[in-house]
Amino acid sequence: MFKSLKRKAPAEKLLYCFVSLVFLLFALSYIYIIAWTLMSSLKTHTEIVLDPFSLPKVLNWSSYSELPEVFYVNNNGFGQMLFNSVWFSVVGAFLQQFVTIAFAYCCSKYKFPGSEWIYTIVLIMTTLPIYGTGGATYRLYHELGLINTYAHVLASCAGFNLHFLYYRAYFKNLSWTYAEAAMMDGANHFQIYSKVMLPQAKPLFFSLFLTTWLASWNNWSSVLLYLPKLPTLPVGIQQFNVEMIYKARLDVLFAACMIVAIPALVMFIAFNKVLTTSVSVGGIKG
Amino acid sequence: MEKKKRKFNEVIFIICCISVPIIQWLIFYVYPNFSTIFMAFRDSQGVWSLDNFTRFFKELKLPTSDIRLAFRNTFLTFGILFVAYPFKVMVSYFIYKKVPGSGFYRIVFFLPSILFAVCTTMVFSRIIGVNGFIAQSVGEILDLGYTPELLQDERFANTVVLLEMLWLQFPGDLIIWGGTFARIPEEVLESASLDGVTWWSEFTKIIVPMVWPTVALQMVLLFCGIFGASGNAFLLNNGSHGTITLSVWMYKQVLESSGASYTANVYNYLSAVGLMTTIVAIGISIGIRKFTDKMFDDVEF
Amino acid sequence: MMKKGKKYLAILLATAMTAACLTGCGGGEGGNKKTSSNKAGVDIEIAVWNSGIGIEWLENVIAGFEKKHPEYNVTFSDSSNIKTVNASLGMADIDTTDLYLTYVSREYEVMEPLDDILDATADGDQKSLKEKFNATYLAGAQSEDGHYYSLTCGGGTLGMVYNTKMFEEAGITQLPRTTDELTLVCDTLKSYGVTPLCHFVQGGYYTYMTQVFMAQYDGIDYYTNNFYSCKDEAGKSPSKDVLTKKDGRYYALKAYEQFITPEYVLAGSNSKSHTEIQTEFLNDKAAMMFNGSWLSYEMRNLGSSDKFAVMQTPVLSSIKDKLSTVNDDKLLRKVITAVDQISEGKKQLSDYASGEDYKIGDTVISKADWEYVTAARNTVASNFAGQVSFVPTYSNSKEGAKEFLKYMYSDEGLKIYADTVQNPMPIALSTGETYDTSKYSAYAKQHFSLLEQAENLPDMHMNKRHAIFNAGASDFAEVEYIFSFCTNNAGEQMTAEQAWKLVIDKINDDYETNWLKNIK
């Protein structure tokens, strides 16, 4: 653990230890959130209210076993909300990445009328957010009948976004020689893309997919607006908390929190390395 | 013949790749943006008018209006994020430099972005509640004689929202910075350390210049998003007690008039406020680009 | 090796999630959208707000109805969020609901008049529904055009709920009869080390207390026919003068200022959630909480509520302004005691009679004053119109929905409701007998008798209220002012005078520019 310190000057060692100590405090505080949630999910409702910081007197597993029965919001049971979450996060993230990568590939490797414009537009769009369009967007969704429907996921087929820039940069730097070789062998453009180019972008695709998935798995704001009748788990939890007026089950609330947190935690611990190393913006000046 | 077929195949391929994103963009980006402009100039009866703008400027002058407060807090939040920015980069840097326990931090520091905000805010507001030691210590340190309700008290609420934001954002953008630092060629640093370069000059003379393009880009993005700067005020206390920011205000406008009342004039007013804000944001964006012109040129995607 | 492991992990997780979804879907459908078997018949779709009284009662009423009317097929969907329940209301092309059981106000253009249901006598009943209804409730339920578009199907009575054990320990034997006395009781409790009050500030239950104070001060007629009808003495409506008049709202604020103070209110009352505060209240953290008849049903999984009792909302001490012969609070309390003894049957009105007037001890109280105090004392806080039934005009099954309502409001249906939630309704049984509350909790029984003795039921949600109250003019003595009385932060504290000034300023700012324009 302290190997990295060996070759350093004493002042530097001191600095590193100090930094590490500060980091430790933050790290512990983050772990405490999960620990507190877990602990609360194993207490009774009354214990959570009266002694929010004490350990459970008896482990109360009923918060988990009764969760399917108690935790339901706007006609959506736990299973239904889980389905909504998976649908909007997995299908949504996949559609978005699928559309974006093809779009970026096409713009970086092919010339067609307007292909250079697209890059400029995306660059402006990502650096210049337009404010106050929430009302117009809500009306649009309403008029298209995309409120409270699974088809809402279609709105995620976006290609004009930051990830476009990542993919474009990636493909720009990717040599075209393989493609030419494949073309010699008679491959068409679809085959070149799917058999030659796409496989090379797999790590980038995967890590961007994962970040998009995570963002929408945890997303509450747009779901609360557009899909109140098809709540995903985070919105279900938020609503359950608000509607707790009529139910005294904080234990179930925190049990649900644990259930939402676990898939995200597992994915990140498993793929931490890929995520932290495969994306870069702005490049390196060497 | 073969060439023609190839060309045809290419056109089909291009159409397949670009049609969906372009249609999506026209419907979900271009259309609402234009209709925002139209909505901004309509009154509650749907008649063309400048009412929304007069109201906006009137409210902006009113010392007690939500809008004024929202702008104030948004700038404050932005200022804090700006000051905190270098520290957040340092976090990734020290993890890259392998401070003791960096393997552990590399994972744990992802927690704030992995855990969903609904949960973290719920837990956070209970931890700082009147039964917790934080609120009690505040009461004792300030010698109040009672335990303050931090989120429901103008004296503390905004500070608490900002601190919560800083606390959760402390690790910064680990993905971006982890990737950037990982790309620094190891030989460069090794030769530097053989030359006996101190930590500080290594950081300022080697590291910073190398990652400068990323810094510049992030700075531009930060400045362009200035009006979106916000903590979790909506989830923490619904933007009450002086914590409202512009993005919380805008979100609440949409949410509260959603459902059957989606045609309400609220959306027209929101559009007008948004339009004015966007105009200022364009100004800032052009300014900052002029200012960082040199930097921005270096950015390569 | 590691890489392979991760791959498997990802696949495993994905499979588990998909599997969970598939099973969940099935379970979700069956578990929450209560659908009876697919038998042939007319479908009735109900959208119900799952409020403090839950939906179990509806399930029971539906069971009873379907037994009697096998030709109907009743299904319902519920949400605890009123906004979600009402989300499609008025959108005739997509809304398939035949009957709403929710809170909504003045959406008359999409509501079917229910006059025929009121005039009808249900199967097995001896009187029409109109005759069964509490007269004050019904007066408020009538809209300006004379029709009844919605009728109560929830809500309840409210009062100051108190912890009998804590009152006993502090030696309080006399329940507070006036607001001044309530402040004294708070003081006594405080000196015994007991926190007197708790509340959930966002919940706005004090709004219902304000309604009682307004009706007590100005009289129920003024409350209904002038204030909430926004009509001045000359008959002009809407009238700004009515809104800016220094009426019961002002004196309610004056009373709150006395007892809703940082010293008396439980710490955390301004920040904790409703359920947390109620849980603390049920666990002896404070002695009183203004709450409703649904409390025990709502918190049923936290055990018995036997140590709790409800007291009638105290009389606003300021009503002395309106009395000529009662001018100090002690005397007012004596009159109230006398009034209570009469309504409890312990004394007769004639016991106090003295010629035209009345007499307590040696003090003469004018007839007018006596009647004023009696009316004030028998004013009970309620929010029955806070959850109402109505049939949308575009329903495909209007007859079915009305048939269902008839059953729901029949003696049989009402008994099912009362037995399930132990919550009163302002509707008497047609036989003239009272509800059999013998098996109910003591707390529920008290609410049933509270309603029985009620002469006046002020209810801010009533249909009679003027459209201006739906155009923004609703928040007069609510949350922010209550908060300002009990916050510890001197910077945000307000006196009643300052709060009232804000109310008036708001009216002056918004009356012409916003509210009048917003009236549909």
Alpha-carbon radius of gyration of chain B: 25
CA–CA dist C479, C492 (Å, integer)? 13
Whether C472 has a pLDDT exceeding 80, the answer reads: no
Question: Which parts of chain A sit beneath pLDDT 70?
Answer: 1-8, 245, 276-286
**Domain span at residue B8?**
1-40
Whether C33 has a pLDDT exceeding 90, the answer reads: no
The pLDDT of residue C11 is 52
**Domain span at residue C130?**
42-155+384-453
A 10 A CB-CB count for C433 gives 9
Question: Does B22 share its domain with B96?
Answer: no
Question: Does C506 share its domain with C360?
Answer: yes
Q: Which CATH number characterizes residue C431's domain?
A: 3.40.190.10
Q: Do B259 and C491 touch (CB under 8 A)?
A: no
A276 vs B115, B179, B184: nearest CB: B179
User: What is the ipTM score, two decimals?
Assistant: 0.88
Q: How far is B101 from chain A (nearest CA, A)?
A: 6
Range name among A63-72, B201-210, C399-408 with the lowest pLDDT average: B201-210
Residue B131 forms part of a structural domain: no
Question: In the structure, what pLDDT confidence band is assigned to residue B225 with cuts at 50, 70 and 90?
Answer: confident
Host H or E run for residue A221: helix A221-226
Q: Do A211 and B127 touch (CB under 8 A)?
A: no
Of C251, C402, C226, C398, residue with least CA distance to C315 = C251
Question: Does C62 share its domain with C180?
Answer: no
Question: In the structure, what pLDDT confidence band is assigned to residue C474 with cuts at 50, 70 and 90?
Answer: low
Instruction: List all chains that touch chain B, counting a touch as 3 or more CB pairs closer than 8 Å.
Output: A, C
Q: How do residues C92-133 score in pLDDT, each as one tens digit? A: 888 999 999 999 888 888 999 999 999 999 999 999 999 999
Host H or E run for residue A31: helix A10-41
Look up residue B152 and give its amino acid.
Answer: Q
A 10 A CB-CB count for A67 gives 21
Q: Do B144 and C488 touch (CB under 8 A)?
A: yes
CA–CA dist C255, C477 (Å, integer)? 12
Residue B249 forms part of a structural domain: yes
Q: Do B274 and A52 touch (CB under 8 A)?
A: no
Q: Please name the CATH architecture into which domain A74-247 falls.
A: Orthogonal Bundle (1.10)
DSSP state of C435: P
Coil vs helix vs strand at C78: strand
Residue C362 forms part of a structural domain: yes
Alpha-carbon radius of gyration of chain A: 24
Residue with structure tokens 């279900």? A236
| Interchain CB contact of A247 with C (< 8 Å) | yes
DSSP state of C272: S
Question: Does B188 share its domain with B236?
Answer: yes
CA–CA dist C144, C466 (Å, integer)? 9
Three-state SS string over C382-428 comes to ECHHHCEEECECCCCCHHHHHHHHHHHCCHHHHHHHHHHHCCCCCEC
DSSP state of B146: S
Whether B119 has a pLDDT exceeding 70, the answer reads: yes
Provide, as residue numbers in chain A, all residues whose Cβ is less than 8 Å from the Cβ of C276.
49, 250
| Interchain CB contact of A243 with C (< 8 Å) | yes
Structural domains counted in chain C:
2
Question: Does B220 share its domain with B190?
Answer: yes
Question: Does B105 share its domain with B7?
Answer: no
CA–CA dist C183, C264 (Å, integer)? 9
B44 vs C88, C492, C517: nearest CB: C517
Q: What is the mean pLDDT of residues B55-64?
A: 89
- What is the overall mean pLDDT for chain A? 88
Question: Does C303 share its domain with C257?
Answer: yes
Q: Do A140 and B120 touch (CB under 8 A)?
A: no
Q: Do C279 and A46 touch (CB under 8 A)?
A: yes
Provide, as residue numbers in chain B, all residues whose Cβ is less than 8 Å from the Cβ of A88.
none
| Interchain CB contact of C516 with B (< 8 Å) | no
Structural domains counted in chain B:
2
Whether C8 has a pLDDT exceeding 80, the answer reads: no
Range name among A181-185, B95-99, B209-213, C245-249 with the lowest pLDDT average: B209-213
A75 vs C24, C32, C283: nearest CB: C32
Q: What is the mean pLDDT of residues B138-147?
A: 92
Residues in chain B: 301
Most confident of A72-76, B140-144, B193-197: B140-144
C-alpha dist (Å) from residue C115 to A144, C123, C128: 38, 17, 11
Angle at C287 between CA C285 and CA C290, to 5 degrees: 110
CA–CA dist C74, A277 (Å, integer)? 58
CA–CA dist C150, C328 (Å, integer)? 43
The pLDDT of residue C476 is 64
Q: How do residues C340-387 score in pLDDT, each as one tens digit? A: 999 888 999 999 998 899 999 889 999 999 999 999 999 999 999 999
Q: How do residues C423-468 score in pLDDT, each as one tens digit? A: 999 999 999 899 999 999 889 999 999 998 888 999 888 888 888 8
Question: Does C111 share its domain with C222?
Answer: no
Question: Does C176 share its domain with C192?
Answer: yes
Q: Do A279 and B39 touch (CB under 8 A)?
A: no
Of C422, B135, B108, B208, residue with least CA distance to A26 = B108
Rounded to a whole number, what is the largest CA-CA distance in chain B?
91
Pairing mode, strands C42-49 and C99-102: parallel
Provide, as residue numbers in chain C, all residues whose Cβ is less than 8 Å from the Cβ of A270.
6, 9-10
Question: Does B242 share its domain with B270?
Answer: yes
Q: How do residues C405-416 score in pLDDT, each as one tens digit? A: 999 999 999 999
Question: In the structure, what pLDDT confidence band is assigned to residue B57 with cuts at 50, 70 and 90?
Answer: very high
Look up residue A62 and give its amino acid.
Answer: S
Q: What is the mean pLDDT of residues C272-297?
A: 91
Residue C462 forms part of a structural domain: no
Termini Cα distance of chain C: 70
Q: How does C470-507 read in b/e, with b if 16+ C-beta sit within 10 Å?
A: bbbbeebbbbebbbbbbbbbeebebebeebbeebbebe
Residue C21 forms part of a structural domain: no
Provide, as residue numbers in chain A, all residues whose Cβ is less than 8 Å from the Cβ of B7.
none
Q: How far is A146 from chain C (nearest CA, A)?
A: 13
Q: How do residues B257-289 score in pLDDT, each as one tens digit? A: 876 666 667 888 999 999 999 999 988 888 887
Question: Does C273 share its domain with C355?
Answer: yes
Residue B57 forms part of a structural domain: yes
Provide, as residue numbers in chain C, all residues whose Cβ is less than 8 Å from the Cβ of A49.
275-276, 279-280, 283
Tell me the percentage of chain B whose pLDDT exceeds 70: 94
CA–CA dist B235, B118 (Å, integer)? 7
CA–CA dist C151, C158 (Å, integer)? 19
Question: Does B2 share its domain with B105?
Answer: no
Look up residue C234 and give its amino acid.
Answer: A
Q: What is the mean pLDDT of residues B7-16?
A: 91
Q: How do residues C70-88 score in pLDDT, each as one tens digit? A: 999 999 998 888 888 888 8
Host H or E run for residue C354: strand C353-354
Q: How do residues C53-73 score in pLDDT, each as one tens digit? A: 989 999 999 999 999 999 999
Q: Do C272 and B260 touch (CB under 8 A)?
A: no
- What is the overall mean pLDDT for chain B? 87
Host H or E run for residue A106: helix A92-109
Residue B151 forms part of a structural domain: no
Tell me the percentage of chain C whose pLDDT exceeds 90: 61
DSSP state of C312: P
The pLDDT of residue C311 is 94
Question: Does B33 share its domain with B178?
Answer: no
Question: Does C247 share its domain with C378?
Answer: yes
Q: Which CATH number characterizes residue B225's domain?
A: 1.10.3720.10
Q: How do residues C182-218 score in pLDDT, each as one tens digit? A: 999 999 999 999 999 999 877 668 889 999 999 999 9
DSSP string, A129-192: PPPS-HHHHHHHHHHTT-TTSGGGGGGG---SSHHHHHHHHHHHTS-SHHHHHHHHTT--HHHI
Question: Does C168 share its domain with C46?
Answer: no
The pLDDT of residue B298 is 47
The two structure tokens encoding residue C209 = 């207390």
Which of B5, B16, B99, B220 has the most A C-beta neighbours within 10 Å, making it the best mutation to test the interface with A? B99
C-alpha dist (Å) from residue C285 to A36, A50, B180, C269: 24, 9, 55, 11
- In the sheet that holds C363-365, the strands lie side by side as C353-354, C357-360, C363-365
The pLDDT of residue B261 is 61
The pLDDT of residue A26 is 96
The pLDDT of residue A176 is 87
The pLDDT of residue B299 is 46
Question: Does B205 share its domain with B264?
Answer: yes
Question: Does B17 share its domain with B66?
Answer: no
Question: Does C482 share its domain with C344?
Answer: yes
